[in-house]
Amino acid sequence: MRRSAPGPGGGGGTIRFRTTFHNTIYDVFRARGWKETDSETEWDVAWVDTGWIRENFDTMHLEEHQRVNHFRNHYELTRKDCMNKNLKRMQRSLQREEKHEEARKYDFFPNTYVLPVDYGLFVEEFKHHQAGAIWIMKPIAKAQGKGIFLFNKLSQITEWKKDHRWKPDNPQAETYVVQRYLENPLLIGGKKFDLRIYALVTSFMPLVVYLYRSGFARFSSFRYNTNQKNLGDTYVHLTNVAVQKTGPGYDAGAGCKWALRSLKLYLIGKFGVQATDKLFYEIQELVISSLLSVQKVMIHDKHCFEMYGYDILIDETLKPWIIEVNASPSLTADTPQDYELKFGLLDDLYTVIDVENKLGGVIEECVGGYDLIYNNGPMKSDKQSCYTTRLGCFDDRVRQLKRLHKAHAKRASSSAQH
């Protein structure tokens, strides 16, 4: 493909964006005064799906200033089988190096097997668990709860194998992961929930990670139970909004989400500040550990960044578990509050990426709602704060951005004078 015109805006100043999405990201681009282009090459920022990356990235030459929202092999963390492979490998590597304390940190993912290749190993593991233990099956590359089901008998897998024309040597068989189902989730109002957390990686070499303070909890519509007759009830067991909004009695106006800060305040009221802060810090550590597990296998490119959507489950002991990581978390808003969250999330993202060079290449510790948590090493927590992480804390992003730009203008003025 031919080169794009040099410099942001093709030398004309106005940033040109390319995207096929007409949701919150499109609104952010327009609100920034950027100009849309249909060109395959002459753009400054591109927000594209993973399929576009797969089809186009290897044949493109990108100019110095161009930025795109995926790394070439993003799937190392966002495909369920690859994530499991990389987490296990990192754990084993640390054990071999006798870094046992670090290896113990990798206890945040359930026992996982890839089918059909690990079927024999899975059967052995299944037999070691007590009768009635629940497992969950997930297709490796689908989202929004599609294809997921629970089971507690091997005969139910046999039926699934017949339905999917499954044979160990059949390359056409759809790959699934099977995991021990976490049967003891923390419940609120008797209902199961999980968290959606957003992490922004601007570089893998060195690793630079920002964590967005805001997020949300997604609730199921019906009270949780593990009765045999209800194992197939997705409205009880799956918290995906795409699933819940099809359920009976779903209130589209209220939705099924709760702001992360509201959840944190609830947990502080129930379990105390120390226990809640420990939980949220462990979530932050989980994000960093998962990214370190893929750092060495990622194809680093200075033109790329990635905003990951982490799905986290909290069990009744306040231990966080990673469920999956999304390369393309939904940017479509369900409610006005959801829109406000996602607009701020994306607007602040492009302040961090800084294609207009307003921050002069400085890696800021706080940008809007984003906090720098890793910059070639973990960031030190604020000694003046009673919290070890800002995740779930109050997010006054507008005021923070005003202070940030004011400080940068002062630095720029001082440099000009010298």
Rounded to whole angstroms, the Cα distance separating 132 from 201 reads 41
Tokens 């200075």 belong to residue: 302
The reply to whether the predicted model has a pTM over 0.85 is yes
Task: Give the pLDDT confidence score for residue 3 in this predicted structure.
Answer: 34
Regions of the chain where pLDDT drops below 70? 1-12, 144, 159-173, 232-233, 235-236, 241-255, 383-384, 411-418
Rounded to whole angstroms, the Cα distance separating 254 from 244 reads 12
Read off the pLDDT of residues 343-369 as tens digits, 9 standing for 90 and up: 999 999 999 999 998 888 889 999 999
Task: Give the pLDDT confidence score for residue 355 in this predicted structure.
Answer: 93
**Who contacts 414 (Cβ-Cβ below 8 Å, separation ≥6)?**
none
Read off the pLDDT of residues 282-332 as tens digits, 9 standing for 90 and up: 999 999 999 999 999 999 999 999 999 999 999 999 999 999 999 999 998
β partners of residue 322: 312
By the 8 A CB rule, do 132 and 180 touch? no
Structure tokens at 390: 């800002």
The beta strand positions in 103-250, using DSSP E, are 112-115, 135-139, 149-151, 176-180, 187-188, 191-204, 207-212, 216-219
